[in-house]
Amino acid sequence: MFLENNKNKGWIEVICGSMFSGKTEELIRRMKRAQFANLKVEIFKPSIDVRYSEEEVVSHDANAIQSTPVESAQNILLMASDVDVVGIDEAQFFDAGIVDVCRELANSGIRVIVAGLDMDYMGKPFGPMPALMATAEYVTKVHAICVRCGDLAHHSHRLTAEDKQVLLGAHDTYQPICRHCFKELIKKD
């Protein structure tokens, strides 16, 4: 299924952080650099993420790259043959199987770049992201700026009363805040 001569070239990179921290922007930047280097790339995203586009990975700044929406992580293995680099956006929305999928791709000689929220709106580890960070060779944590005080933000504060863990949204639903402001908001609840 994968190129045998690439056995020693595969690895996993994780880009994590809060909403509006530039995770998708960084994923797109890395994927476009790989394309520029004439590497074969394929980008995947969970099919539930249709906020900006059904067929593209799109950052909050409207930077975009063509992608393939998939129902489950296992579908990535079926579609990632004959590529050098696989990009995966919004990895927190996949089930725990995404970790084994990324390992299998990397073990097959593919560079795997994964972006996702490391914490949910309550400040708890989000889905498979902790396991992905643990198994990755490289982890980049990016930060937004707190909309309340201007410090580095790493929490995604939800602006609605909805309490389910997965709630797709953007500026109308979430805002980035720092640890101190998050702690103050939690006290009020």
**Residues acting as catalytic residues:** 90
User: Residue 187: beta bridge partners?
Assistant: none
- Cα separation of the two ends of the chain: 52
* Residue 84 zone, left/alpha/beta (φ > 0; ψ -120 to 50; rest): alpha
Measured CA to CA, the distance from residue 160 to residue 158 in angstroms comes to 6
> Are 116 and 90 contacting, i.e. CB atoms less than 8 angstroms apart?
yes
The CA distances from residue 174 to 30, 69, 109, 119, 177, in Å, are 26, 23, 37, 13, 9
- DSSP letters, 71-92, are SSHHHHHHH-TT-SEEEE--GG
